[in-house]
Amino acid sequence: MKQLKRIKGTQDILPEESYKWTALEQAIRRVMLLYNFYELRTPVFEQTELFARGIGQLTDIVSKEMYTFLDRSKKQLTLKPEMTAPIIRAYLENKLYAKTPLNKIYYIAPLFRQENPQAGRLRQFHQFGAETLGSAGSEADVEMIDLALAVYERLGIKNLKLLINSVGDSTCRIPYKKTLQEYIKPNLDKYCADCQRRFHENPIRILDCKNETCIQLNQQAPKISECLCDDCQTHFDQVKLQLRQLNIPFKEDPCLVRGLDYYTRTVFEITSDALGAQNSICGGGRYDLLAEELGGMPTPAVGFAAGIERTLMAAEKQNIQLGQPPRLDVFIVSLGDEAKKHTLFWLKSLRAKGVHAEQDFLGRSVKAQMREANRQNARFVLLLGENELKEKVFSVKIMDQSKQVEISFNDIIDFLVKQIIDN
């Protein structure tokens, strides 16, 4: 029969590498807790409309990349392609604002986009991120940036660059759009087809275009950061001042924009030179107008999202060890049928005391069992044969010291717990 394969653009995270994911996730959870963020888990799928409204119909994600399907009752559902819209949906639906006016939330989640696997893009990928809901103050923006950087610092990832910009708010963006359109209009036919489409609906996204010609044409374009209203200017100045107070280096990038109307004021990106051309490792910003877009009350909010696969890649490029492959504490080697009957009991007793223990399940010879204990790098090997059973002792090999001792059945648990747990 034909053997089945995984879907293109997905990957299996095998036992020999999954400990790195665990270590990364533990580091994220630890830092999130230090900053007083709490986890929110949302379902893997949502109504399609949540993302159409929460990301925007005109974006590539919504128009080309979402995993959208009809379920058996003909409801249109989508596997989540990003986390901000689901978090806001859950925040509004569960009335988290009624419990406390400030909610600090984080997530670690799988996301889905139907991207081109030929280009090395994953169709199931993973992100971690955070959102602060309820505060309009620049302190929340700065804490968010500091939080993202703190995760990377804990992991030991170095040489990161922080880029920031302000995209204004609804007050200053309307006149800016006009100024920008006036600049683009004389050359509009030279822009790519996507940009020509964006010109009327969302001209700010033209600044974000990766097309070489468009990048050239945009070089002299008026910058939103030069057209901020007084409130937005003050907010941006405060963000920069506080970053300096925290000794967080940054660079202003006037071309860093989030093209959607619900993004407001601060936007930021963290890049790693370990990642080559596609060097963005984390992106974030303020989105004060999204909650209303999703039918909720006005809620100022700021957040970031970071790719887990990209973070792992950056760590690898910098030769950073994420976690340690787990090391077995005890392997029980048995000789003879009678001895075999006792090993599961001892395993259970050891495990109940917190000792990482294993035995042979394949009826292997003593020699092969010893090889397996070595392969798993066991600290201690307990030998149980006919003699040991008669004497009620284990022969204990202390592997790191190439030493062998005899320990009675009565004392073995205490002996190992003392050696392993108390050390």
Binding site for Zn ion (CB under 5 A): 168-169, 171-172, 192, 195, 209, 211, 214, 229, 232
- Per DSSP (E only), the strands in 338-420 are 357-359, 380-384, 393-398, 403-408
CB of 173 to Zn ion, least distance (A): 7
Looking at beta carbons only, is 150 or 229 nearer to Zn ion?
A: 229
CA dihedral 10, 16, 17, 18 (to 10 degrees): 80
Looking at beta carbons only, is 114 or 211 nearer to Zn ion?
A: 211
Looking at beta carbons only, is 108 or 214 nearer to Zn ion?
A: 214
Asked whether 328 and 374 are in contact (CB, 8 A), the reply is no
CB of 266 to Zn ion, least distance (A): 12
Asked whether 176 and 168 are in contact (CB, 8 A), the reply is yes
Residue 174: burial class (beta carbons within 10 Å; 0-12, 13-18, 19+): exposed
CB of 196 to Zn ion, least distance (A): 8
CB of 301 to Zn ion, least distance (A): 17
The residue with tokens 């007050």 is 171
Looking at beta carbons only, is 3 or 220 nearer to Zn ion?
A: 220
Looking at beta carbons only, is 217 or 355 nearer to Zn ion?
A: 217
Please give the Cα distance from 214 to 202 (Å, whole number). Answer: 15
Looking at beta carbons only, is 229 or 399 nearer to Zn ion?
A: 229
Asked whether 7 and 123 are in contact (CB, 8 A), the reply is yes
Residue 330's contacts (CB-CB under 8 Å, 6 or more residues apart) are 350, 355, 356, 357, 358, 378, 379, 380, 381, 382, 416, 420
Asked whether 142 and 75 are in contact (CB, 8 A), the reply is no
Instruction: Output the six-digit token pair for 354.
Output: 């917190």
Asked whether 48 and 71 are in contact (CB, 8 A), the reply is no
User: 316-347 burial by CB neighbour count: b if 16+ within 10 A, else e?
Assistant: eeeeeebeeeeebbbbbbbbeeebeeebeebb
CB of 142 to Zn ion, least distance (A): 19
Can you list the alpha helix ranges (DSSP code H) found in 35-156?
A: 48-55, 60, 84-93, 96-99, 138-155
- Per DSSP (E only), the strands in 146-242 are 160-166
Looking at beta carbons only, is 171 or 376 nearer to Zn ion?
A: 171
CB of 376 to Zn ion, least distance (A): 55
Residue 174's contacts (CB-CB under 8 Å, 6 or more residues apart) are none
Looking at beta carbons only, is 65 or 208 nearer to Zn ion?
A: 208
CB of 220 to Zn ion, least distance (A): 16
Element (H, E) at 218: helix 212-218
CB of 167 to Zn ion, least distance (A): 9
Instruction: Output the six-digit token pair for 206.
Output: 């033209």
CB of 228 to Zn ion, least distance (A): 5
CB of 237 to Zn ion, least distance (A): 13
Looking at beta carbons only, is 209 or 267 nearer to Zn ion?
A: 209
Looking at beta carbons only, is 168 or 285 nearer to Zn ion?
A: 168
